[in-house]
Amino acid sequence: MESKPQVETKSGQTEKLEKVSSEKPGMITPVTTPQEGDWQEYVDLVIDYIAQLPELVTNFFSSYQKPLTTTGLIIVAAITVYITLAVLEAIEQIPLLSPILELVGLGYSIWFVWRYLLKASTRQELWAEIESFKKQVVGDKNN
């Protein structure tokens, strides 16, 4: 007499296994056909979730507004740096354009030093322009 193998379930009980035959299909798991009401439950759950979605999204954004804004700004800054570097690399590949731009930059730097930094009076003029610009951007502290 052949003894049937036993399996311990999650609840701690032991059950005897029936012999599995590969010749008869469907012996391992029973085949069940879904009923029409079963699908309706899932459809109702999805429709309820979609109906609540705008409220959930609004609550999420209002709760995490500062971290989301910070993360968005970091991502935008990274994309900006990446695009800027790509444009500069493309400009550098154009023959004669890179040396010409370097000469223009060097010429402007020499002009700026000559115009604003050599004499004390022109340095004061530059500082007055910087202060005026700062007041335009930030605003006057007295008002």
pLDDT tens column, 38-94: 778 888 889 999 999 999 999 998 999 999 999 999 999 999 999 999 999 998 899
Q: Give the Cα separation of 25 and 29 in Å (integer).
A: 9
Structural tokens at position 107: 């010429």
Q: Is the pLDDT of residue 16 over 70?
A: no
Structural tokens at position 44: 């109702």
79-103 tens-digit pLDDT: 999 999 999 999 889 999 888 999 9
Query: Residue 133's pLDDT is what?
Result: 93
Q: Which comes out higher in pLDDT, residue 51 or 35?
A: 51
Structural tokens at position 42: 């899932």
Query: Residue 134's pLDDT is what?
Result: 92
